[in-house]
Structure 1
């Protein structure tokens, strides 16, 4: 982001917050990284291009770089496992619901204790006469605790004229369900409807099967009536896309994943203004072109990376262990050689005070000996004095993720999730995560005793 745009955003930020209705719409007031000893875990379930009958399970600490946990992890007794949707129930089990076949009137259910080993439960018949296709069931847990499934149904002879319906669990075992209720205002001919709730508003993302765009609608009730707010390529997601699935990030933003099925790509994009605008779509690293129609479950679990705060430390490069993060006289960050024979000035340049994150106290900020903070500007690491703005605080905050070596950490940008501090030609930058060993090593640092 260039200097002019950033200056305008800093000046207009408070006004935009008022116009958008305050912190609830911004999504940042209640969001925060987990405290020390805990971590965020994002579990992704998907089927693949190579098989519609095998479930693949991945997880991630940052919603960007996903690691395979098991694949195939589950094959149903018969039929398909397209469009798998995952949630964790109050009984401690993880549950899947999924599309069982290209035609028919059933959805499938499976259960797991650990997200990777699954047991088939049953196929459920949607009690509507004449259904020819029953696609893309998605869990939706409402704020009243009710467990719902949003599913796309049609009685047409071809795969057209889908309409979104809701069924609600009527027992805690999730074995009995209410009569289907149509979601007023969505359809006909909308499929893959995914709903999230922010404040008192239900936000629906749904594929228009005629135009092949993901549309956006809102309602004050789960069953509607929904008002279609955005059509066409309103968010820059492109056409011939489907399977939207959303999850909220630790910094309060919302991430949407979706399937660019004609191009054979899988994408994500982020929003920080109540779904009005979205970042430039980015391919899901390592998985784009392999997975299809995923959903992502966010949880807080034990573990994670904890750095000492209000203590001086140095950051040693994992793959260049004789080099450390430093601030040079030009105020920019590098990884330079530092040793016992280095001058006092060099040792001081490699020594920082680790403090609670300026934008989120469960993340971290780094202050040099002159009181300047390590922040990114045009994605380059530099050290500046705080000007007290929200933009500066976010630029200077980094969340710790596991590094490649035991005890090491990777530092993710707070306001650009998926970007990490890494060295490139020995210069420190915040670059988008890449699914390569080189990137993971370049972005890993061991927090060690201070040089000065």
Structure 2
């Protein structure tokens, strides 16, 4: 039987719809019910917390017409850079952020719905260290085995790690530090989390096969690296192994955030010198494919964090802000 053009187009559309139906039908129930959210800042961070959403992890659209969900209220600088949001064991969203270029502490707030936020709190994580120059890009990871949250960030302490000290990049020479908490009210003493032997920043840590994987930026300026690397540990607080070879390309990348979709890991990052976002993906955390040309983010989005909400939570969020 010979089909005409109209019949062929109809059959093609039917086949595509069938493939789409099968792909969706065999997704885990949690995946079908999920909406991915992305917390980020724009400009210098003076406007506050911004959110975008995606159903597939590739195309991201702003929520609330790019209006901020929370405006910064801490430190003389009143900045809200590098906002990291996670859902806690109490089903509350916990957020930390960079409050200033020079403060020795970080910001914290919590919310049940991402619209109404608690009072902003300053956590003085490095105030005890007079030679600390900053506290940048904090993140939170929860360890269910120990029932504890780890908050970690990058700090330069004058005189520390002289073997990697250079004058470039204003002389910053970061390492990763951390505190732990169970309630975001009391905190452990600050400790060194990771010294990979180079200037590093922008770490993010996730569970991986009963271990932990850390993605971080090699901030080395001379000779320039400015790329992302990976390291692993048996325990959340380390010790972490030597860092891998770069997983990103010849461009400069920072602010990694990670989404696990099925068996695939997608690492998004800020291509900050190109003023755009990029991504790489892997199934084994060893071989990486650059998929920067397949992702799109809101214009001006900077250094954010990806997390999941349910369809119901997303509908409530949109309804509450009358988007």
Q: TM exceeds 0.5?
A: yes
Matched residue SS, 2:56? coil
1:180 Cα deviation from its structure 2 partner: 1.5
**Distance change in 2, residues 1:88/1:159 (3 Å):** farther
Within the candidate set 30, 37, 43, 2:37 is matched to: 43
Indicate if the aligned counterparts of 1:106 and 1:126 stay in contact, CA closer than 8 A.
Answer: yes
1:246 aligns to 2:258 (yes or no):
yes
Task: Indicate the RMSD between aligned Cα atoms, in angstroms.
Answer: 2.5
Q: Among residues 260, 275, 278, which one is paired with 2:271 in the alignment?
A: 260
Distance 2:294 2:274 in 1: 11
Cα distance in 2, alignment partners of residues 37 and 269 from structure 1? 21
Structure 2 counterpart of 1:324: none
Find the residue that maps to 1:43 and give its secondary structure: strand
1:155-176 per-residue CA deviation (whole Å, 9 max, x = no partner) reads: 239451111112111x43x111
Q: How is 1:6-405 mapped onto 2 (pairs within 5 angstroms)?
A: 33-35=27-29, 39-49=33-43, 51-70=45-64, 71-78=67-74, 79-127=78-126, 128-130=128-130, 131-144=132-145, 145-156=147-158, 158=170, 160-169=172-181, 171-172=182-183, 174-210=184-220, 211-231=225-245, 234-249=246-261, 251-282=262-293, 284-287=295-298, 289-302=299-312
> 8 Å contact 2:253–2:272 — kept in the other structure?
yes
- Sort the Cα spacing of 1:37 and 1:297 in 2 relative to 1 into closer, same or farther, 3 A: closer
Q: Which residue of 2 aligns with 1:446?
A: none
Indicate conservation of the 8 Å contact 1:164/1:190, yes or no. yes
Distance 1:159 1:77, change over 3 A: farther
**CA distance 1:126–1:188, shift in 2 (3 Å):** farther
Q: Return the alpha-carbon distance in structure 1 between the equivalents of residues 31 and 239 of structure 2.
A: 43
Task: Please give the per-residue CA displacement for 1:72-121, whole angstroms capped at 9, x wherever unaligned.
Answer: 11112242100000011233321210000011101001222212343333
Measure, in 2, the Cα distance between the counterparts of 1:175 and 1:187.
Answer: 33
**Matched residues in 2 for 1:115 and 1:34: separation?**
25
Do 2:219 and 2:227's aligned partners in 1 also have CA atoms closer than 8 Å? yes
Closer, same or farther in 2 for the Cα pair 1:51/1:225, shift >3 Å?
closer
In structure 1, what is the Cα distance between the partners aligned to 2:205 and 2:30?
31
The verdict on how the C-alpha distance between 1:221 and 1:132 changes in structure 2, with shifts beyond 3 A counting, is same
- Please tell me whether Structure 1 or Structure 2 has the larger radius of gyration of its CA atoms: 1
CA contact (8 A) 2:227 2:247 kept: no
Match of 1:109, SS?
A: strand
**Structure 1 residue 212 displacement after superposition:** 0.9
Tell me what 1:309 maps to.
none
Under a length normalisation based on structure 2, what TM-score does the superposition of the two structures give? 0.75
SS at match of 1:282: helix
Instruction: Give the count of matched residue pairs.
Output: 267
Higher share of residues assigned helix: 2
Richer in strand (by share): 1
Q: Following TM superposition, by how much is the alpha carbon of 1:290 offset from its aligned partner in structure 2, in angstroms?
A: 1.1
Q: Which moved more, 1:90-99 or 1:293-302?
A: 293-302
Alignment match, 1:414 = none
Give the conservation status (yes or no) of the 8 Å contact 2:277–2:297. Answer: no
Change (3 A) 1:275 1:298: farther
92 and 218 in structure 1: CA distance in 2 versus 1, 3 angstrom threshold:
closer
2:284 & 2:243 partners in 1: Cα distance? 15
Deviation at 1:223, TM superposition (A): 2.7
Q: Given that residues 168 and 177 in structure 1 are in contact (C-alpha distance below 8 angstroms), is that contact kept between their aligned partners in structure 2?
A: yes
Determine if contact 1:110/1:121 at 8 Å carries over to the other structure. Answer: yes
Higher relative contact order structure (alpha carbons within 8 Å, sequence separation ≥ 6): 2
Deviation at 1:302, TM superposition (A): 4.3
The 1-side partners of 2:304 and 2:250 are apart by 18
